[in-house]
Structure 1
């Protein structure tokens, strides 16, 4: 049985799935299996909980924990950094047919991060949302017909065929509490471990602000042409006689959901600190692992003995127009990363789905779009506080990657997978690049490691999850 008495702090806050213009990230996970298990409120008691439909980690059962999710990280989610377990009660249509969801899309969201920044999900965090004894609207639970008028927290709309005319689509949006008590990873009967923020700020008893987990579960139903949402039923705790189950069902207002964090630690850290606390909509750009720049600077042929390692900018200004790079001024950036290691225990095919990219923030200073080049440095044996034009490592001007950009300052993503894998094959654990400009004397400026928008080397893996 789930704990269902919600405090005033829990009931306060924003409604689920209103239009969100603030920082966020997202993951889409296909449905995988159904079990009468609940590893949060009925841990270690298989087949004694209400029927639940599971998304994400494919091994989720009554014994799941953060350790098991990461030990067996197979997932139906499109981002392989996310091995979280998500589950919701099973749905029964008004005609008695039990149906399975197609997928769920989770938006991780926040507001007021400038004054109330986020803390990453801690390993092992488990959250509950909703009330499985609910009898009326809940401000954190919303309903949507695929052909309807948008999300509402009131049941009763009759869904018709969606725009494609091929199925009825019904969605439930569920917003989880986003303020953790900072102590208890797991809720227990009679005591929740999280509450909802109020105007972006957390209540005193739940002071740690975390990303809001906003699940959006989609049922795609080609077998019907209309659906009265007030007559939908959701699974309840079964009546048990020994090992024999008798299923029980409740109304649509008993909608609820469970979240067991299974993100990689660096994935969760990136989402909160390098994405959402920067007021970004990162979309799916949350990496499996990442490394911030451990050294960065720029060097200038016009100031050959000067060091610029503590500057907030990385400046590029090449001028190859007359006589090439030796005859004209040249300013190059230098950046060095530790290489995030590839995961262990995966097949070559699985490893091939992982890609290395660099995220960098900046722009060209003049109007128009041009290109910059990532040239391999001859050595990583340099330090940002001492490197100058005169003592810099050698530069191989055959570029590993090219980026086109204009004068709009923003984050850019650059594929460097081939170069990093070559370095790994050579036994290297660090990699360095020069960044050169367009050879026409234009100036490019990027944020350095002295700012919160510094460069990072990301390791990511994605697969396509169809949204039917």
Structure 2
């Protein structure tokens, strides 16, 4: 079973230079190497030990029989974001002396461009993508090489990598950019048929109309046992010659570099990455939620308008002053927010997950940064009728503190302790008052119905690999 026609189709697609600084929104994961098998669940599904040697990252159970259901059923991962149960694999590398080496990790950037004009769609469950050409014999603008001590990224082999620093290691990276326009029909490519191609200046061609995040995978080899690496002489695994069950390995130049991606992101996470993050021109970084809920309700209440409700605010307002006679002697404006509590993942270590609030806004005055407070509130309030005089009780013992300046931007607030306490008490919802800095300054935040949203999210992290 060969990939020749498919990879040739991908390699000859309309190409854009890959050696430019990415200026659009993105997210990222780092995934340690886990295992090596002669398996390929995309092009040789069910044929164990019949494919070229591949190094696997991410989902620790990936083999020839992997699909979305199996990845989500056993989501253990080497990636630093536990919402990513995806499988990533690339051919094994052999040094010029014949030694087959293991990679250290891979770092994948999920990227986008021109999202205002051409927004992203979430990865469909189980989408499989291929990139590169395992019959390649010349530079490919979707494949890059990098020496850790060298001159930067290049599409050409031949550079000799030296030590990153004295008495350290040789680091060599291979970057693989995947297609980002899906045909909307086929979850997997087939022999002679690609299910995805590349955009042109952010726009997808008519035969592949569904724009998805660009998967930019960078495989890193950290080699402690050598002092230099001639990239013209390093090799990558190719399809073996099979004599019954016996394998005769074959090898090609670095121009045969390619990789496979089998989406295993939790569906809420894939949606969060695109709709609540990258399509809003936000860099998610590592803050892609495992699950989340938008605010069920949000209002502001003020002692200056004690009987006036504000059920659909355009802006959430906050201001108070505890000086000059104390809080009760001065005007006070607080915002009330209520969330449904998203559940923690079943069957996973709860200590590796945290609850956070993501909120967009900042201080009005440009007189430096200050801290504001999230005070616990009861859930028995209705945004249509709540007023300052008919507000739920408020404890001025804060659950969390947010330190912020006058930049209007996304803010992340750790509320893990408070949410777990609410869960332990059998609650399914949680509310907070957002109170000011007690100095009289003003703060404004975007409400839940804005494009920036207002969300309570579950995020899960592991220790990233040592690099």
Give the TM-score band, short-chain normalised.
Answer: over 0.9
Q: Out of 69-78 and 286-295, give the one that drifted further.
A: 286-295
CA distance in 2, matches of 1:202, 1:211: 12
Alignment partner, residue 194 of structure 2:
192
Shift of 1:89: 0.4
Compute the RMSD of aligned alpha carbons.
1.4
CA distance in 2, matches of 1:381, 1:164: 64
Matched, 1:401 2:403: no
Query: Secondary structure at the residue paired with 1:326?
Result: helix
* C-alpha distance 132-421 of structure 1, shift in aligned 2 (>3 A): same
* C-alpha distance 360-52 of structure 1, shift in aligned 2 (>3 A): same
CA distance in 2, matches of 1:307, 1:253: 66
Alignment partner, residue 317 of structure 1:
319
CA distance in 2, matches of 1:302, 1:220: 63
Alignment partner, residue 450 of structure 2:
451
Shift of 1:274: 1.3
Shift of 1:14: 3.1
Query: Secondary structure at the residue paired with 1:230?
Result: coil
CA distance in 2, matches of 1:95, 1:208: 45
Any residues of structure 2 matched to 1:247-396 within 5 Å, and which?
247-346=249-348, 350-367=349-366, 368-378=368-378, 380-396=379-395
Matched, 1:209 2:211: yes
Shift of 1:10: 6.0
- TM score, norm. by length of structure 1: 0.96
Query: Secondary structure at the residue paired with 1:266?
Result: helix
The aligned length equals: 464
CA deviation profile, 1:39-69 (whole Å, cap 9, x unmatched): 0000011000110000000000000011101
Q: Out of 109-118 and 9-18, give the one that drifted further.
A: 9-18
* C-alpha distance 384-465 of structure 1, shift in aligned 2 (>3 A): same
Shift of 1:353: 1.7
Shift of 1:445: 0.3
Shift of 1:4: 3.4
CA distance in 1, matches of 2:355, 2:19: 33
Query: Secondary structure at the residue paired with 2:34?
Result: strand
CA distance in 2, matches of 1:458, 1:5: 39
**Contact 2:30–2:107 under 8 Å retained in 1:** yes
**Contact 1:30–1:465 under 8 Å retained in 2:** yes
Query: Secondary structure at the residue paired with 1:253?
Result: helix
**Contact 1:17–1:214 under 8 Å retained in 2:** no
**Gapped regions of structure 2 (runs ≥ 5):** none
CA distance in 2, matches of 1:340, 1:414: 16
Alignment partner, residue 462 of structure 1:
461
Shift of 1:103: 0.4
Shift of 1:363: 0.8
Alignment partner, residue 153 of structure 2:
151
Alignment partner, residue 49 of structure 2:
47
CA distance in 2, matches of 1:69, 1:16: 30
**Contact 2:6–2:194 under 8 Å retained in 1:** no
Alignment partner, residue 139 of structure 2:
137
**Contact 2:371–2:437 under 8 Å retained in 1:** yes
Q: Out of 449-458 and 425-434, give the one that drifted further.
A: 449-458
CA distance in 1, matches of 2:133, 2:396: 62
Shift of 1:384: 2.4
**Contact 1:16–1:173 under 8 Å retained in 2:** no
Shift of 1:8: 7.7
Alignment partner, residue 108 of structure 1:
110
CA deviation profile, 1:380-429 (whole Å, cap 9, x unmatched): 23232332222221111111011111111111111101000000001111
* C-alpha distance 221-337 of structure 1, shift in aligned 2 (>3 A): same
**Gapped regions of structure 1 (runs ≥ 5):** none
CA distance in 1, matches of 2:433, 2:365: 21
Query: Secondary structure at the residue paired with 1:142?
Result: strand
Q: Out of 211-220 and 327-336, give the one that drifted further.
A: 327-336
CA deviation profile, 1:118-166 (whole Å, cap 9, x unmatched): 1111111110000111111111000111111111111111111113441
Matched, 1:94 2:96: yes
Shift of 1:11: 2.5
Shift of 1:9: 9.2
Alignment partner, residue 440 of structure 2:
441
Query: Secondary structure at the residue paired with 2:350?
Result: helix
* Aligned with residue 226 of structure 1, among 221, 224, 228: 228
Shift of 1:105: 0.3
- TM score, norm. by length of structure 2: 0.97
CA distance in 1, matches of 2:375, 2:16: 48
Alignment partner, residue 127 of structure 2:
125
